[in-house]
Structure 1
């Protein structure tokens, strides 16, 4: 019995490595996150919002091909806990390792989600955590991947007819190549009200 309980406790302590890649963007925008297996798809939505620097102002969708699950994210706080909200562990056990997350049905930001591997949890890091990534998340409401490409072109070219207007719309200095693991992880810490993880490399 003791050994069975120990194995169960160890299994519950495992975490999963997931890679989130924003589709139709080149060079790619991606994040690697570590999440406990018991966390749900709603938790994953919150994680992606934090590490992409978004504000959760739009609806979202998880697409598993034939299986679809859709939530009105802006109304989430008014709903009771969704008993049908699957955990990451349930997805893995069902054989699901690749699926799609769509945010903002107007801009249609599609993310490829890959559950990479299971890792042993350690007391040195709090979870969920962001451990790697590349490039800044696009500003919200910029028109999706194609609108984002047009925005970058206008901002980069002082002779572009919309250069000044686009800079004013951004309202801040925006570096599309900038990404800080530490800052992304700090946003996760704030979103999930957890202790700060040990500083991550990169």
Structure 2
């Protein structure tokens, strides 16, 4: 039987303009591998806790102290809990609370000449780690826009935010080919 591939769209909730990715992943991946796909596709650095919620059930890396009631993501294959049209969420960094909306847009037969996972497209750079969640990211976007203000900064704190983000951060930048390379190397 040919391998099944899921086409997933992941969108960062509460962020405007939208930050999203569309990827192809083997349906036989475990949720643990999907976690790595989300991390690399979105541009996170995997330095915080995470969880999935599928049909009101929480999955993730089980907490040895039992404070978080999570089913082990290593034990769950995508095709066992998801199908075409399934919607679920992924939360990363319980402090900043980055929630991702995911949908299985399609279920396809694997192309024998293709390597998976693949990033088909997306828009905008991932917010920097530690920016303070969607509200902090919005403040950063305002600060970056203020940089081009011909009359000077509206708020003197904007320069501090811009310096913190670094001169190389471009919120409009996204490269699906570079993302595919990362996905194949680390997922």
Identify the TM-score tier after normalising by the shorter chain.
0.7 to 0.9
Instruction: Give the Cα–Cα distance (whole angstroms) in 2 for the partners of residues 149 and 100 of structure 1.
Output: 21
> SS of 1:26's equivalent?
coil
Kindly tell me the number of residue pairs found equivalent between the two proteins: 173
5 Å matches for 1:48-67?
48-67=38-57
- Counterpart for residue 66 of structure 2: none
Which of 158, 165, 175 is equivalent to 1:163?
158
- Is 1:136 the counterpart of 2:125? The answer is yes
Greater CA deviation, 158-167 or 26-35? 158-167
Matched, 1:68 2:63: no
Counterpart position of 2:170: 175
Please report how far the alpha carbon of residue 167 of structure 1 lies from its aligned counterpart in structure 2 after TM superposition: 2.1
Q: Would you say the 8 A contact 1:15–1:119 is kept in 2? A: yes
Aligned to 2:15: 25
For residues 82 and 165 of structure 2, what CA distance do their matches in structure 1 show?
Answer: 39
Q: Aligned residue for 1:6?
A: none
Aligned structure 1 segments of 4 or more residues deviating by more than 4 angstroms: none
CA RMSD of aligned residues (A): 2.0
**Residue number in structure 2 paired with 1:116:** 105
Structure 1: runs of 5+ lacking an equivalent: 1-8, 74-81, 193-202
The structure that is helix-richer by fraction is 1
Which residue pairs with 1:14 in the alignment? 4
Query: Equivalents in 1 of 2:183, 2:10: separation in Å?
Result: 15
Cα distance between partner residues in 1 of 2:44 and 2:74? 25
Question: What SS does structure 2 have at the residue aligned with 1:115?
Answer: strand
* Corresponding position: 1:107 with 2:107: no
2:185 paired with 1:185: no
Could you tell me which runs of 5 or more consecutive residues in structure 2 were left unpaired when the two chains were aligned: 64-71, 148-152
